[in-house]
């Protein structure tokens, strides 16, 4: 093995399986809780999807209060509102039930239970904070963001119109309850966006320039294989239990993979597109991924070949990095568009490319890019992707 150094972050307890949500109450009983906060959004609360979870908690003799104010790309104000609600209710645990934005809200608002507000203070990665002693339980209703198994969260800053990532061990859940049955009602569009996000996490962690390690390689390649074989099925046939279950599993592997080797340039650019034009996160990162990975082949050809193998692409052993990058980039681009995601020229205005490139340069994900970056490189990669997707 090549002589290199790495660290492995072990995340918290994961419980996986169809119907496992009904066991949550018995798991919480050991914490001797009297009142917990369930964080969700208005749609999920009204849909009845979380009723089984609340019932399981209440059967364990634990009182439940609900904060249903989660929004896509939660602004920092909602994080503050949720924390204030939790303090007023004197809750003893946080339970997030929903998609990535809901889970991120549970993580970020919990920070304010043991640290001064507002959450914007902690956009500075060097600012210390105290870990909350309150248990954090995360239950996803989508399969893609991996927020339920990672120690990161995203918050939108409405004042500066920018997205910020929070990271730290205090954001790792105490328990993750992953029940594929909860994803069965996901609309095809949300299935596509979250599934492509999961693909991006896996491909970028595999090619990450930070903390390269064999665990990430193992989990990311398996996640890519699962997504390649199941995402289109889950989109076209949402009731296919096997596809839903496999996508939930891929989401776990991908989350552990990128928790140890973080995503890089596609997420930096995707965050910028999302902040500028409020594009769904999965589309924003997926739209630029083909060119990001294609360029990575010049620096990490062996890792890009792993992506090719996971997608069952036929390549000559003697293929040069440029040829490898083009073929893998084309395959990722086809998957992205076949999922029904919009081409990048429908997500951005060409005149905005310099602005998006500048925002991306300041994103923390740029620290993990596996090759030298510049404003001009980012701008050129975006322009290249606009041209290539226009041909499809």
CATH number, domain containing residue 161: 3.40.50.1970
* DSSP code of residue 66: E
Query: Quick check: 120 pLDDT over 50?
Result: yes
Looking only at Cα atoms, what is the longest distance across the chain?
64
Q: Is residue 145 in some structural domain?
A: yes
Q: Are 250 and 194 in contact (CB under 8 A)?
A: no
Q: How far apart are CA 61 and CA 277, in angstroms?
A: 45
27 within 8 A of 55, measured Cβ to Cβ: no
pLDDT reported for residue 3: 62
Residues 220 and 301 in one domain: yes
DSSP E strand boundaries for the chain: 13-16, 35-39, 63-67, 94-98, 136-140, 152-157, 162-167, 175-178
Q: Label residue 2 by pLDDT band (50, 70, 90).
A: low
Among the three residues 117, 148, 183, which one is the final residue of a domain in this structure?
183
Residue 255 covered by a domain? yes
32 and 164 share one domain = yes
Can you give the residue range of the structural domain that contains 155? 13-183
> How many domains does the chain divide into?
2
385 located within any domain: yes
Neighbour count for residue 291 (Cβ, 10 Å): 27
Same domain, 130 and 223: no
Give the pLDDT confidence score for residue 392 in this predicted structure.
72
Query: In terms of domains, do 97 and 172 share one?
Result: yes
CATH of the domain at 198: 1.20.1090.10
Residue whose token pair is 């198994």? 149
Give the angle 29-14-12 at the CA atoms, nearest 5°.
85
pLDDT (0 to 100) of residue 318: 87
Residues 358 and 217 grouped into a single domain: yes
3 domain-assigned: no
Which of these, 13, 35, 10, 9, lies nearest to 178 by C-alpha position?
13
Per-state percent for the chain, helix, strand, coil, to nearest 5:
55, 10, 30
pTM: 0.94
Is 310 a member of any domain? Answer: yes
Q: Are residues 206 and 347 in the same domain?
A: yes
* Average pLDDT value for residue range 266-285: 95
**CB contact burial 241-275 (16+ within 10 A = b; e otherwise):** eebbbbbbbbbbbbbbbbbbbbbbbbbbbbbbbbb
201 and 178 housed in the same domain = no
53 with 76, same domain? yes
- Domain C-terminal end among 183, 200, 226: 183
Residue 1 lies in a domain: no
The proportion of the chain whose per-residue pLDDT surpasses 70, expressed as a percent, equals 98
Residue 1, pLDDT > 50, answer: no
Residues 193 and 340 reside in one and the same domain: yes
Q: Give 248-272 as a DSSP string.
A: HHHHHHHHHHHHHS---HHHHHHHH
Mean pLDDT of the chain: 94
- Predicted confidence band at 138 (pLDDT cuts at 50, 70, 90)? very high
b/e 83-98 (16+ beta carbons within 10 angstroms → b) = bebbeeeebbbbbbbb
Instruction: Give the end of a domain, one of 147, 164, 183.
Output: 183
pLDDT score recorded for residue 246: 98
Whether 317 and 226 map to the same domain: the answer is yes
Whether residues 262 and 380 share a domain: the answer is yes
DSSP lists the bridge partners of residue 166 as 153
Q: Are residues 378 and 250 in the same domain?
A: yes
Residue 300 placed within a domain: yes
User: Is 304 within a domain?
Assistant: yes
């Amino acid at each position: 093995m090549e002589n290199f150094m790495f660290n492995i972050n072990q995340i918290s307890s994961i419980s996986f399986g169809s119907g496992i949500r009904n066991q949550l109450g018995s798991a919480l009983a050991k914490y001797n809780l009297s009142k917990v906060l369930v964080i969700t959004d208005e749609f999920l609360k009204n849909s009845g999807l979380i009723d089984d979870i609340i019932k399981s908690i209440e059967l364990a003799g634990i009182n439940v209060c609900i904060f249903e104010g989660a929004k896509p790309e939660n602004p920092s104000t909602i994080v503050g509102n949720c924390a204030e609600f939790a303090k007023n209710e004197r809750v003893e645990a946080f339970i997030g039930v929903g998609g990535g934005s809901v889970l991120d809200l549970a993580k970020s608002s919990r920070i304010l239970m043991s640290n001064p507000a507002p959450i914007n203070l902690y956009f500075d990665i060097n600012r210390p904070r105290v870990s909350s002693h309150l248990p954090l339980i995360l239950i996803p209703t989508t399969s893609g963001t991996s927020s339920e198994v990672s120690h990161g969260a995203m918050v939108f800053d409405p004042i500066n119109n920018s997205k910020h990532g929070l990271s730290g061990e205090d954001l790792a859940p105490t328990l993750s309850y992953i029940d594929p049955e909860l994803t069965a009602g996901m609309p095809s569009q949300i299935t596509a966006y979250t599934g492509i996000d999961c693909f991006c996490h896996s491909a970028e962690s595999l090619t990450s320039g930070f903390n390269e390690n064999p665990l990430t390689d193992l989990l990311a390649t398996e996640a890519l294989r699962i997504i390649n074989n199941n995402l289109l099925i889950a989109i076209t046939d949402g009731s296919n239990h096997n596809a839903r279950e496999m996508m939930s599993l891929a989401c776990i592997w991908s989350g552990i993979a990128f928790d140890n080797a973080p995503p890089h340039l596609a997420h930096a650019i995707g965050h910028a597109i999302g902040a500028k034009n409020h594009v769904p996160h999965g589309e924003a990162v997926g739209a630029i991924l083909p060119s990001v990975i294609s360029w990575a082949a010049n620096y990490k050809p062996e890792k890009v070949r792993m992506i090719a193998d996971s997608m069952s692409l036929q390549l000559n052993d003697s293929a040069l990095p440029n040829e490898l990058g083009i073929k893998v980039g084309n395959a990722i681009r086809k998957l992205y568009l076949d999922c029904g995601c919009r081409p990048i020229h429908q997500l951005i205005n060409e005149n905005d490319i310099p602005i998006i490139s500048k925002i991306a340069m300041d994103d923390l994900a740029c620290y993990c890019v596996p090759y030298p970056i510049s404003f001009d490189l980012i701008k050129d990669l975006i322009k290249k992707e606009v041209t290539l997707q226009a041909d499809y």
